[in-house]
Chains A and B, each alone.
Chain A
Amino acid sequence: MSDAVLVLLALLAAVAGMAAFALANETHWRQMLRERTQTGAARTACKLFGAALLALSFLLCALADPVSMAMLVWPMLLGVAAATVAAFLTLKARDRSCR
């Protein structure tokens, strides 16, 4: 698999991981899944799932590049991923308030 594809997959894993972390937050959970109440177990599951996805993202970075380079690429991807999730949540909130 080419390095570019691996980095892209790493970004997708990071976005999914950050989304899981966002869901672990009660406000965002309510925003996304209105009808379902958030249980403690669900919150823990979201956090664990998020952490696993972020770890997967690092692994993919380390497969694409030497580890020293991956140590720079990964945190930068995390920033982009978190900004993507935040932008999605912002647009979602705006969408809802417009309706």
Chain B
Amino acid sequence: MGRSRIFGPLAATWFLLTLAAIGFATRMGLVLAPPDALQGNVGRIFYYHVPHSMLSLVWPYVNLAASIGFLYWRRRDPLKALTADALAIASAEVTLVYATICLTTGMLWGRVQWGIWWTWDARLTSMLLLWLLYVSYMMLRKFSSTGQTQTLAAVLSIFAAIDVPIVYKSIDWWRTQHPSPVFFSNDPDAGVDKSMMPAFVANIVAWAMWGLLLLAIRYALERRRQAREQDAALKAIEDSMEFTR
């Protein structure tokens, strides 16, 4: 059985499983988890905000690995480089989607809790920088006509990856208005109550499954576009040879 024949049913099964997981996780966040002791029901924003924020710091590393792969293979093995480039563009788009949601849901929460939409603290500013880097990445890929677009984009993705640990550690390195992290914090007052943890974990798993699905379909789409471009180039060469004969 061909790879493309497996991909369709596999993607459909994964899609259904993911929808079920998102439905279950959303129900946990909105219904089963108790309201936050300090914030009340508005604290339920975190069940969507935190998973998207965490995952928006994971996808850039997929982008980084693919970009390094592209830079390594671009002269050694152009076919492998094309594969890496397809993964790079897919992961960049998924990063941008997750980072956009992280920023907008954070602003909607901040307006209620802080009374302001935005503040230039280290966490928010470094996250905005990451978002802008990926907007630049997408614009570069869309509008650049240098012939070195993929290489330039791969280098830009390295800069974006450098920003990721700065975003993550910004809460520890600087005094910020942003709340302490839910997971992996050294602060004894940080974290959430045990009763809220299942809803957080369910949402992280569900949105990670969704992100993987988007990544796989976008990657397959890019591979198809590359194959069509190669076919067109091959046909143009054949036509020109016919013409000169």
Are the chains A and B members of one assembly? Answer: no
